[in-house]
Amino acid sequence: MVPQTVDPGVVARIVTDVYELCRGDDSGELADYIPELAAVQPDSFGLCLATADGRVYGTGDVTTEFTIQSISKPFTYALALADRGIATVAEHIDVEPSGDAFNEISLDPVTERPRNPMINAGAITAAALVNGRDPTDRFERIRRCYSRFAGRELTMNQAVYASEARTGFRNRAIGYMLRSFGIIESDPDEAVDRYFRQCSIDVTCRDLALMAATLANNGLNPLTHERALTAALTERVLSVMTTCGMYNAAGDWVTTVGLPAKSGVGGGILAVLPGQIGIAVYSPRLDTHGNSVRGVAACRALSQRLELHFLHVTRSARTAIRAAYTVAEV
Ligand code: GLU
C-alpha cells in the first residue's frame, strides 16, 4: 500500500513525469490484422495507477475506450477456474511459457494441451470451459465477470467483434485443432465466437487500472468492495501472468519491470504489484512483440521510480522468522 503519510501529490507527480517522459516516442505500428483495430487514434496515450485501497491516479487519455483484446485472457481463465476448479482446468490447459507466437496452431507435444491460458489456444479453451445455460448466457457471465473487476458495466464493441469474426480464420483453425484433440468437447465455433466477443469488450485505461488493482487486492474490487475472484485463484492467475503475460517478451519484462502483467494488441497493458498497486497504460502503437511501445516504457519507468519490481527488497523488509531461541535461552 502507498503509506498513508505520503502526500498523494507525490504519486500523481511521478505518474505525470513518466507520462511526459514517454509521450514523445511515436515509434511502433498499430495492429492491423483485424481491420477495425487500425481505425484507432494512434497518438492516444493514457496512464493510470490504482492502489489496492482504491486511490486512482491518472493522466492523459484515461477515459478513451479501446478493446481489451488479449488482456481478456487472464480474466476468462479466472472465471473458468472459478467455474470448473483448478484440477479440471489443469486437465485442459497447462501453465508453461510457450516461446511460440500467441496465435500458434500447436499444442504441447507431450501433454497435447495448450501450453498456457495466455496464448490463443489456451484462451479459447478457457472460453469453452466457462459455465452457462447457452452461448448468450456464457458470454454474459464473462462480461459480468470483467465488469466486477472494473467496477462498472462493460460492453462489447460490435464493430471490432464483427471485424474479427469476419477475419479470424487462424483462431477458427485453433478451435478445430482443440476439438480434434478432445481439449474442447463442445462446439469449437461457439468457443471461438465467445473468444472473439471477449476480446472485443471495450475498456478504458482507468477500467484496466481498477481491474489490476482488484487483482492486487486479492480479487476484491477496492472501490465497489465486490468480490471478483477468490484469493487462491487470484494467486494462480497472477502466477501465469508473470511467466506468460507479455507475449515473447516475458523474460525481458520480468527483468526490467518485474510485475505480473498482460498486454493486448489493442494497445493496453495491465500490470499488478500484488497487495499494492494496479497499473494500466493505453497507447496503441506496438513493438515487434505486439506490446505497446509507450506502455512498456511507462511501466519500466514507473517500476524504477516507485521501486515496484516484485523481487526488489526494500530496506524496511524483514525476514518472516525474526529471531530464533532455544528453550534453554528463553
Ligand atoms: N483478438 C486477438 C486475437 O486473438 C487478440 C490478440 C491479442 O491481443 O494478442 O487474434
Q: What is the pLDDT along the chain (330 residues), one digit of tens a residue?
A: 555 555 558 899 999 999 999 999 999 999 988 888 888 999 999 999 999 999 999 999 999 999 999 999 999 999 999 999 999 999 999 999 987 788 888 899 999 999 999 999 999 999 999 999 999 999 999 999 999 999 999 999 999 999 999 999 999 999 999 999 999 999 999 999 999 999 999 999 999 999 999 999 999 999 999 999 999 999 999 999 999 988 778 889 999 999 999 999 999 999 999 999 999 999 999 999 999 999 999 999 999 999 999 998 876 655 666 666 777 776
Which of 32, 76, 102, 197 is the pocket-test mutation for ligand 1 (most atoms within 8 Å of CB)?
102
Distance of CA 54 to the CA centre of its chain: 19
> Which three three-digit cell numbers place residue 265?
494488441
199 in contact with ligand 1, CB cutoff 6 A: yes
Residues in the chain: 330
| 8 A C-beta contact, residue 156 and residue 202 | yes
> Which three three-digit cell numbers place residue 189?
465455433
Distance 256 CA to ligand 1 centre (A): 24
Backbone torsion region of residue 240, taken as left when φ is above 0, otherwise alpha when ψ lies between -120 and 50, otherwise beta? alpha
Measuring CA to CA, how many Å separate 218 from each of 37, 115, 203, 230?
32, 25, 21, 7
Residues 153 and 143: their CA atoms lie apart, in Å, by 8
So which residues are the catalytic ones? 70, 73, 195, 247, 265
At residue 6, the pLDDT reads 52
221 in contact with ligand 1, CB cutoff 6 A: no
| pTM for the model | 0.93
207 in contact with ligand 1, CB cutoff 6 A: no
Atom of ligand 1 nearest to the CA of 120: 4
At residue 104, the pLDDT reads 87
Atom of ligand 1 nearest to the CA of 102: 9
Measuring CA to CA, how many Å separate 249 from each of 253, 270, 281?
6, 15, 17
Q: How many degrees, rounded to 5, is the angle at CA 83 between CA 80 and CA 84?
A: 80
